[in-house]
């Protein structure tokens, strides 16, 4: 009887050790996965972004590439990820990150009225007429000059009118 009990205890210890090793390996794999995850990988679904100069912007993520594209109340906003202070995410589901440049993303708003937010908190509005290498150009009132805004100063761009 004692031998059976001894072998049962040894077998149980072996099972427990294997479970501990399996759990440790799973934890290591999970840690490795998180070490390779960018915060942009988690930007999906409903989101709230605290953006430098623009404040808190909420919406549903439409696209993540060089800029984060969100939609809220039928308005599209593009946000520079480098200007995001914090993000409140709805889940831990990973999204697919696109390869479009910021210029190709903003082309959707060509000819429309937009508001461009600077990282300083200032904003400018006008019709998006040109998207250059490192700037956007807005046309304001008919009697005023066009406004050139360097890409380096932009935090967010919001469409303020819609195509019919």
What DSSP designation does 94 have? -
Phi, psi angles (nearest 5°) of residue 85: -85, -40
Q: Residues near 113 by Cβ (< 8 Å), separated by ≥ 6?
A: 125, 126, 127, 128, 159, 160, 161
pLDDT in tens, 120-150: 999 999 999 999 999 999 998 766 778 999 9
Q: How far apart are CA 44 and CA 133, in angstroms?
A: 28
The answer to whether 117 and 64 are in contact (CB under 8 A) is no
Note the pTM of the prediction, 2 decimals. Answer: 0.79
The answer to whether 61 and 44 are in contact (CB under 8 A) is yes
pLDDT in tens, 59-111: 999 999 999 999 998 899 999 999 999 999 887 777 788 889 999 999 999 99
């Amino acid at each position: 009887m004692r031998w059976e009990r001894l072998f049962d205890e040894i077998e149980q210890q072996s099972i427990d050790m294997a479970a501990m090793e399996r759990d440790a390996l799973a934890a290591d794999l999970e840690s490795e996965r998180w070490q390779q995850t960018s915060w942009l990988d988690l930007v999906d679904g409903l989101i709230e972004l605290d953006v430098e100069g623009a404040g808190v912007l909420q919406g549903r993520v439409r696209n993540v590439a060089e800029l984060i594209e969100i939609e809220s109340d039928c308005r599209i906003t593009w946000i520079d990820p480098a200007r995001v202070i914090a993000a409140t995410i709805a889940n831990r589901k990973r999204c697919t990150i696109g390869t479009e440049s910021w210029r190709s993303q903003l082309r959707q708003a060509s000819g429309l009225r937009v508001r461009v937010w600077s990282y300083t908190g200032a904003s400018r509005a006008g019709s998006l007429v040109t998207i250059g290498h490192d700037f956007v150009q807005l046309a304001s009132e008919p009697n005023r000059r066009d406004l050139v805004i360097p890409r380096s100063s932009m935090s967010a761009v919001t469409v303020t009118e819609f195509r019919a």
